Amino acid sequence: MPRIVSVGKALPPFKLTQEEIRQFVSALFKDSDMEVERLLDVFANAEIKERYFSVPIEWYQKERSFQEKNETYVRSATELSVAAIKDCLRGTNTGVTDIDYIIFVSTTGLATPSIDARLINILKFRPDIRRTPVWGLGCAGGAAGLSQAYHYLLGHPRERVLLVAVELCGLTFQQNDFSKSNFVATALFGEGAAAVLMTGDDSGADGPEILGTSSTFWPDSLDIMGWNVLNSGMQVIFNRNIPNLVEKHARDNFAALLARYDMQLENIKHLIIHPGGIKVIEAYKRSLGLSNGQMDTARRILRDYGNMSSVSVLFVLAEYLEAKHVRAGDHGLISALGPGFCAENLLIQF
């Protein structure tokens, strides 16, 4: 079966504590009609310590055009992707000319030619490399990218695939959006990039095997999360019912995938789940009946980086690849939710 060989990470240069962001938002929104003092509790309740951004905090004091935000996105997304790829391939026996296919995932900016085309030029990938840019999957994009690579490698067992995900959520901030969704997003989202090297059966590489995948789409749920695209950029759609949906559907959603392999949730040692927010993490714990620390890694990634959309689940995966408590033969579930409303799941064996 296709394997996950290595995960690389990269972070933008500006690290801000949650308290620094809280103070900035308090000052920025003080003259609005919002109940700012009451809403500021969301910063503490998010249980996030710090986050990373592509621009300094002063950049947000001025309203920016969509063009300016997107130009910053293209520049920073390219730089972070290069760094994540180099980190991913470091220590492996794979160079950029060994990569047969690159999948690029992002939902926080636009580029044509796409960012992957820029990466091919900068890092000197082979001119016959295949590439697929994926846009619009939001937080589900990292898991969906792994799934796409898996299905490709089933038919191309000698090849190597590089998945690259980058999200610059901070650049979507709307200075004049006084909605609660914008306020919550300001307390939650961060930026980062990740790259994953995957290989087929005949590559001889080591790493967790992907045994199978599943995609689930819930009809009539388009308003749960996503973007409104405005003249000033992307305005976040963030429904408060997300934790309720997780609590209602997570167990059955996982069970449906596991049943195909005659497995149950009790057989899963490791939950590699996108940490959408602290309420989402708690909803998973209630739905799955967890009391054994299986969500601790996801919680730690949220604490240290915030919600990096498609990138977060790959940061969680990187932690598990290095974890000393993971044993050969253990089974794990990779999962993330995204706009649609949808879930992307993968069953793996270490």
SS (H, E, C) 19-65: HHHHHHHHHHCCCCCCCHHHHCHHHHHCCCCEEEECCCHHHHHCCCC
Whether 72 and 220 share a structural domain: no
Beta strands in the chain (DSSP E): 3-10, 14-17, 50-53, 101-106, 130-135, 160-168, 191-199, 209-217, 225-230, 233-238, 270-273, 331-338, 342-349
Q: Is 139 among the catalytic positions?
A: yes
Read off the CATH number of the domain in which 270 is found: 3.40.47.10
Q: Which of 161, 178, 203 is the last residue of a domain?
A: 203
- Show the domain range for 94: 3-203
Query: pLDDT for 293-316, tens place per residue?
Result: 899 999 999 999 999 999 999 999
Whether 35 and 125 share a structural domain: yes
Whether 145 and 214 share a structural domain: no
pLDDT at residue 343 is higher than 90: yes
Query: pLDDT for 125-154, tens place per residue?
Result: 999 999 999 999 999 999 999 999 999 999
Whether 174 and 235 share a structural domain: no
* Residue 15 neighbours by CB distance under 10 Å: 13
Whether 261 and 324 share a structural domain: yes
> What pLDDT does residue 104 have?
98
Whether 47 and 183 share a structural domain: yes
> What pLDDT does residue 218 have?
87
Q: Which of 88, 139, 169, 342 is catalytic?
A: 139
- Residue 93 to residue 89: CA distance in whole angstroms: 8
Give how many domains the chain has, as a whole number.
2
Strand pairing class (14-17; 225-230): unpaired
Q: Which of 203, 232, 257 is the last residue of a domain?
A: 203
> What pLDDT does residue 220 have?
82
